Structure 1
Amino acid sequence: MFVIIGYVFMVACILGAYASVGGHIAALWQPAEIVIIFGGALGAMIVSYGGKPLKAIFKAFPTIFKGSKYNKTFYMDLFALMFEILGKVRKEGLMSIEGDVEDPHNSPLFAKYPKIAHDHHVVEFMTDYLRLMVGGNLNAFEIENLMDVEIDAHHHEASVPSGAITNLADGLPAFGIVAAVMGVVHTMGSLHLPPAELGPLVGAALVGTFMGILLGYGFVGPIAKVLENKAAEDHQVLSTIKVTLLASLNGYAPQVAVEFGRKALASADRPSFKELEDFVKATKGK
Structure 2
Amino acid sequence: MTILIGLILVAGLVFGGFTMSGGKMEVLIHAVPFEGMMIGGAAVGSFIIANSLGQIKRTGKAFLKVFKGNKWKAKDYNDILSLMFELSRLYRTKGILALDSHVETPKESEIFQRYPRLLNDHFAVELITDSFRMLAMQFDDPYQTEDVINRKLKKHHHEALAPAHSIQTVADALPAIGIIVAVLGVIKTMGAINESPAVLGAMIGGALVGTFLGVFLAYCFVAPISGRLKQIEDEDASLYHVIRDIFVAMVAGHPPNICIEIGRGSIPTAMQPDFYAVEQAQKELTAAQQSAQPAQAA
Distance 1:115 1:50, change over 3 A: closer
Structure 1 residue aligned with 2:96: 94
Question: CA deviation digits over 1:111-152, x for unaligned, max 9?
Answer: 111221122211111111112223435642111111111111
Distance 1:138 1:36, change over 3 A: farther
CA distance in 1 between partners of 2:154 and 2:74 (Å)? 24
Percent of aligned positions with the same letter in both sequences? 35
Does 2:280 match 1:253? no
Structure 1 residue aligned with 2:292: none
SS of corresponding position for 2:36: helix
CA contact (8 A) 1:98 1:134 kept: no
Stretch of structure 1 that moved more, 173-182 or 27-36:
27-36
Structure 2 residue aligned with 1:232: 234
Question: CA deviation digits over 1:37-87, x for unaligned, max 9?
Answer: 122222222232234333321232222211212232211110011001111
* Count of residues in correspondence between the two structures: 286
CA distance in 1 between partners of 2:140 and 2:103 (Å)? 17
Structure 2 residue aligned with 1:208: 210
Question: CA deviation digits over 1:136-187, x for unaligned, max 9?
Answer: 3564211111111111111111111111111100110110111111111111
SS of corresponding position for 2:270: coil
Stretch of structure 1 that moved more, 36-45 or 5-14:
36-45
SS of corresponding position for 1:268: helix
CA distance in 2 between partners of 1:50 and 1:89 (Å)? 43
User: Which residue among 190, 195, 208 is the counterpart of 1:193?
Assistant: 195
Deviation of 1:201 (Å): 0.7
TM superposition score normalised by structure 1: 0.94
Structure 1 residue aligned with 2:10: 10
Question: Any stretches of 5+ residues in structure 1 without a counterpart?
Answer: none
Letter in 2 for 1:75: Y
TM superposition score normalised by structure 2: 0.90
CA contact (8 A) 1:176 1:208 kept: yes
Structure 2 residue aligned with 1:165: 167
Superposed CA RMSD in Å reads 1.7
Structure 1 segments (4+ residues) deviating >6 Å? none
Does 2:108 match 1:124? no
